[in-house]
Structure 1
Amino acid sequence: MKRILIWLCVVGLGAAPAWGQDSPRLQKLQPTVGLASNTVQELASAGDSLWAGPLLTVYTEEDERLFAPDDPVVQRRLEEGSNVVLSLAAGGERRGAPALWAGLAFDAGGNTTGAGGFLVSTNGGASFTERPAPLDDPSDSTVTYGTSTLPAVPITQEAGSPPRDLAIEPQADTVWAAGGRSGLRRWTAQNSTWTRSVLPPDTSTRIDPSTPTDFLVAPPLDDGRGSQNHRALSVLVDETGTVWAGTAAGLNRSRPDEVAPSGARAWRLFRPDGTPNSLPGQVVFGLTEQPRPNARNPVWVATLRADGGSVLQRSGLAVTPDGGETFRQPLIGVQVNDVAARRTRVYAATEDGLFVSGTQGETWRTVEEVVLAEADQAFPGTITARAVEVTPTALWVGTTEGLLRLNRADEPRLLAEGREAPPPEWQLFRTEVPVSPDAPTEQVPDVETYAYPNPFAPSRDGAVRIVYDVPQPQTVKVSIYDFGMNRVRTLEEQEPAGQQEIVWDGTDASGLRLPTGTYLYTVEVGGTTVRGKILLAN
């Protein structure tokens, strides 16, 4: 799904049991005063619990607060390491608790993200284990597909193979991963291993394991070989057991009755054809199932126009209400980052705000600005929505400026028109660490300034925010230095009194992106100078 800033949607299925303060799970979760990062890129729900990335935070409706996993594996991989959560899937049940899979990515050089493996919990987040990235052995030069033995290029490098999307089957004994260059992979609890799924090559729209075939199983290679359809970006298992796989070449479908005894699947590839009855764009990076009573659940498909693709392609949203028999295009010309749905409403997270439809996409309302319930909070600017999710009691929107929550009872007001319907009030969760607190604690340390997110990756986060306290209205000067104490950037703002923040995009005074490294900064305010450090990862 493009750069790391375009995020995928996995809507968790299955209900989670209620968890009280004395439950084993909450004994393993630590209350937290805010998010670890205000760029919320991933959301997944299980029952009334909502999990958020990129550094794993969970909100429980019963307790009405945020928690962070108190697990050494999570702390080592996320808090102390350079990994971030690129994909999340919650749902299914094993041993009476929902499963949670978090797909990790890390900087493998430049703007390329690498496969960081997985964090897995089978008890609702009480504890986690690690699983390695599903890569191949160098000797894996063939793949068995039904009656055929196909040549294959083994994917042995983490670069370009992060887990971009995940899907958990209802019993949590099978997990699917869309891994970019590593393609579509399937994990089963029975074998505790990953297998490579064979999708159609770019030259075909159907394959069947009972029919002999011959093609190379590989993503696009430098020598021109390989298939865009073997670069997997999204995956979904719907209510019927049908597996949907979005790739850089279109949308693949495999139904439950199309599975051979060996486990190999027949696939049908859907591509855009320039008509309103197909996909708008070729790159399929988001898939969501909508629960509908007395009918088959529609599948919503977020697409992008492929670079160099047909001029007939456009970014937008498609939906198939009948398992792929027909498609329509309810939202065109908009970059949709994520989709979530209830029985009667559909929500699309876009670069231009939150789109809401109560008519199955026939008409849409756009939410560009929000009214906050807390008078002392302010939402900076319009919504840039990266992720959206629903729980039984709330609507959640992940943005570049924090996590928004709206009570379910207030959701219909998003569609209301006229002055008689005032806008609903949202709850905002952000990084909440005060500077120079009156009563420092382990969770709220005594610091005069800090920066978040830190480490800061411009390709993922967009900007880093430097926080400080202003005793009275005045001009604040922030200077940023490289590790050799050469000043690379100066920022100035006229600030009111109170806790304030200034934004830095990781560039120098001439607008050039700075290299990876440690940067020091000073804040000159109130006749004093305070200092901090930023880890920049390009």
Structure 2
Amino acid sequence: MANTVWGLAVTPTAVWAAAWNAFGLFDTGLIRSKDGGLTWNAINPNPNPNGEFTFSVLADEPRIWVGTAGGIARSTDDGTTWAVSTTADGLTGPWVFTMDIQVINGDSTIWAGSWTTGQPGERYGVVRSIDSGLSWTEVDTFAIIQAIDFAFVDSTVWVATVSGLWLSTDAGQHWQQLDQADGLASEDLVSVHALGDTVWTGSAQDGLSTSFNHGGTWEVSRASVPTVTLGAPARADTIETYAFPNPFSPINHGAVRIRYSIRARADVTVEIFDIANQRVISLLVNQSQASGEQFVRWDGRNGRNIRVANGVYFYTISTQTGLKAFGKIVVLD
């Protein structure tokens, strides 16, 4: 099997795997097993340049659709013959990272996230097909937006992108964008799943967001390394403070979180310094905080609201009683 498997599709008779054929183990990145995964055979759905690199696969035998680095390949005879859709057929870019099928009253629509390789005329976008992949139409709302995943509940469409979570309640006619201001953990999303009114969306580095009311409000879940309270003896499984994500990209991550713990209510000051020990910004100044785990966000801007340059920055956490902790943040855009 090829090194990295991006997508899977399972039918009563086969398992399909879309793989990144990085080391040339097979002639193509698409492989199929007819015996539950004991043995695998390579299938070449796309003879176009880069068609051997596959990201996503949908299977409704005998119909198969495969997202590749050279367009969308489709078969109506269980992979015996293939036709390929490219940018000439409506895709916004040749890389098709994600695909999914929406079914409303028995009618199917295939949605696909189409990515650019940086060549002239290409762009990120979302396309859809109502004729089983024969033709594709761009969804204008997503022009230059990088789509990662889709989820559907009847006519409701959820799209996870690097620019937030997008919601349509009318099969894609109108759209609403959700981001951190709406309660999501992050705008940089990698997955979404929906079941009734419950929606889950995973971020790249900042936790899981869950809504139980169709996106009205969100709860954020994060797994974090425990921190020992400031001034207390450190154990092997605890640290005084840390920042995440780190390295931190203001453009891609939005904000870095500085986490720490205090034993009792205290007035806390958190400051950022550059490598020359010049104060960049004060995030908290003698702010009263309750005991327990705490975190403060930094968006990568200085006290004049200007984005800082790439480099190493240091932060200090101090209390009015003299307790202190220190940490380092690498800014890298």
**Conserved 8 A contact 1:473-1:494:** no
Q: Alignment RMSD, CA only? A: 4.1
Q: Which residue of 2 aligns with 1:404?
A: 209
Matches within 5 A, 1:137-216: 162-163=4-5, 165-171=6-12, 174-179=15-20, 181=22, 183-188=28-33, 189=35, 192-202=38-48
Alignment partners' CA distance in 2, 1:166 and 1:503: 35
TM-score, normalising length: structure 2: 0.72
State the Cα distance separating 1:200 from its structure 2 match.
3.0
Q: Which residue of 2 aligns with 1:358?
A: 169
Q: 1:529 aligns with which of 313, 321, 324?
A: 324
Q: 1:230 aligns with which of 52, 76, 89?
A: 52
Q: 2:124 aligns with which of 295, 315, 320?
A: 315
Shift in alpha-carbon separation, 1:475–1:319, aligned structure 2, 3 A:
same
What amino acid is the match of 2:127?
A: A
Matches within 5 A, 1:346-385: 346-369=157-180, 371=182, 383-385=187-189
State the Cα distance separating 1:464 from its structure 2 match.
5.4
Shift in alpha-carbon separation, 1:344–1:254, aligned structure 2, 3 A:
same
Higher RCO structure (Cα 8 Å, ≥6 apart): 1
What amino acid is the match of 2:63?
A: T
Q: Find out whether 1:327 has 2:136 as its counterpart.
A: yes
Alignment partners' CA distance in 2, 1:196 and 1:241: 17
**Conserved 8 A contact 1:395-1:406:** yes
Alignment partners' CA distance in 2, 1:333 and 1:180: 29
Q: 1:292 aligns with which of 104, 117, 122?
A: 104
What amino acid is the match of 1:501?
A: V
Q: Say which SS state the counterpart of residue 208 (structure 2) adopts.
A: strand
Q: Say which SS state the counterpart of residue 173 (structure 2) adopts.
A: coil
Q: 1:272 aligns with which of 87, 102, 111?
A: 87
Shift in alpha-carbon separation, 1:243–1:173, aligned structure 2, 3 A:
closer
Alignment: residue pair count: 303
**Conserved 8 A contact 2:62-2:78:** no
Q: Which residue of 2 aligns with 1:95?
A: none
Alignment gaps of 5+ in structure 1: 1-133, 136-160, 203-226, 260-264, 373-378, 415-423, 482-486
What amino acid is the match of 1:395?
A: V
The C-alpha deviation readout for 1:356-405, integer Å capped at 9, x for no partner, is 22222222222245555xxxxxx67x734332222356111223543211
Q: Which residue of 2 aligns with 1:394?
A: 198
Q: 2:152 aligns with which of 338, 341, 352?
A: 341
Shift in alpha-carbon separation, 1:491–1:180, aligned structure 2, 3 A:
farther
**Conserved 8 A contact 2:15-2:37:** no
What amino acid is the match of 1:318?
A: V
What amino acid is the match of 1:523?
A: T
Q: Find out whether 1:467 has 2:295 as its counterpart.
A: no
Identify, as 1 or 2, the structure richer in strand. Answer: 2
Alignment partners' CA distance in 2, 1:298 and 1:467: 44
Q: Find out whether 1:476 has 2:270 as its counterpart.
A: yes
Give the fraction of aligned pairs with identical amino acids, expressed as a percent: 21
**Conserved 8 A contact 1:405-1:426:** yes
Shift in alpha-carbon separation, 1:194–1:489, aligned structure 2, 3 A:
farther
State the Cα distance separating 1:258 from its structure 2 match.
4.7
Alignment partners' CA distance in 1, 2:38 and 2:81: 23
Q: Which residue of 2 aligns with 1:46?
A: none
Shift in alpha-carbon separation, 1:370–1:511, aligned structure 2, 3 A:
closer
What amino acid is the match of 1:333?
A: A
The C-alpha deviation readout for 1:243-273, integer Å capped at 9, x for no partner, is 2221222111122x254xxxxx321110122
The C-alpha deviation readout for 1:466-498, integer Å capped at 9, x for no partner, is 3124754454245699xxxxx899764331333
Matches within 5 A, 1:423-434: 424-431=216-223
**Conserved 8 A contact 1:317-1:329:** yes
Shift in alpha-carbon separation, 1:194–1:535, aligned structure 2, 3 A:
farther
Q: 2:64 aligns with which of 238, 243, 252?
A: 243
The C-alpha deviation readout for 1:181-209, integer Å capped at 9, x for no partner, is 4542325245624433223332xxxxxxx
Alignment partners' CA distance in 2, 1:294 and 1:249: 30
**Conserved 8 A contact 1:522-1:529:** no
Q: Which residue of 2 aligns with 1:142?
A: none
Q: 1:306 aligns with which of 99, 103, 117?
A: 117
State the Cα distance separating 1:533 from its structure 2 match.
8.1
Alignment partners' CA distance in 1, 2:266 and 2:8: 51
Q: Find out whether 1:501 has 2:296 as its counterpart.
A: yes
Q: Say which SS state the counterpart of residue 298 (structure 1) adopts.
A: strand
The C-alpha deviation readout for 1:322-344, integer Å capped at 9, x for no partner, is 21233222234141222222221
TM-score, normalising length: structure 1: 0.47
What amino acid is the match of 1:388?
A: V
Alignment partners' CA distance in 2, 1:191 and 1:429: 34
State the Cα distance separating 1:162 from its structure 2 match.
3.3
Shift in alpha-carbon separation, 1:480–1:404, aligned structure 2, 3 A:
same
Q: Which residue of 1 aligns with 2:95?
A: 283
What amino acid is the match of 2:323?
A: T
**Conserved 8 A contact 1:242-1:253:** yes
Alignment partners' CA distance in 2, 1:318 and 1:172: 29
